[in-house]
Structure formats: structure tokens, C-alpha cells
Amino acid sequence: MAKPFLSYDQQINKLTGEKGLLIPDCDYAIAILKKTSYFALICGYKDPFKNPIR
């Protein structure tokens, strides 16, 4: 089953809501998503950015 396309804003919302990442600068985060795919970010780089309270 194919996953639906998510805009950069939707990807940011998913990262903050479902994945618990703290993203203080959405414009910078979008620039990173343009260089690094969402999948690569979540699978390899998310742990240092997770909200410790969640």
C-alpha cells in the first residue's frame, strides 16, 4: 500500500505530533527536509531531537 504524499508542513506536523520532535525553527526544518528525505531523517537521525518529556 502506497503512503500518501505529505507536504513539508504536513511532514513537520507529523514529526512534532507523532514522533515527538522539538522543532523551534520550521523554516530551517523544511530546508533540511528538502536536502534529507523524511525517511532518512526519521530512521537515522531522530533520536537526538526527541522531546525528553514525551
The predicted-structure confidence for 12-21, as pLDDT tens digits, reads as follows 999 899 888 8
- Which residues have a Cβ under 8 Å from the Cβ of 33 and sit 6 or more positions away? 8, 11, 12, 41
What is the predicted pLDDT for the residue at 12? Answer: 94
Which amino acid, 35? Answer: K
Residue 21, φ and ψ in degrees, nearest 5: -85, 145
What is this structure's pTM? 0.68
pLDDT digits (tens, 9 = 90+) for 5-52: 999 999 999 989 988 888 999 999 999 889 887 777 777 666 676 667
- Which residues have a Cβ under 8 Å from the Cβ of 43 and sit 6 or more positions away? none
Spatial contact of 42 and 19, defined as CB atoms under 8 Å apart: yes
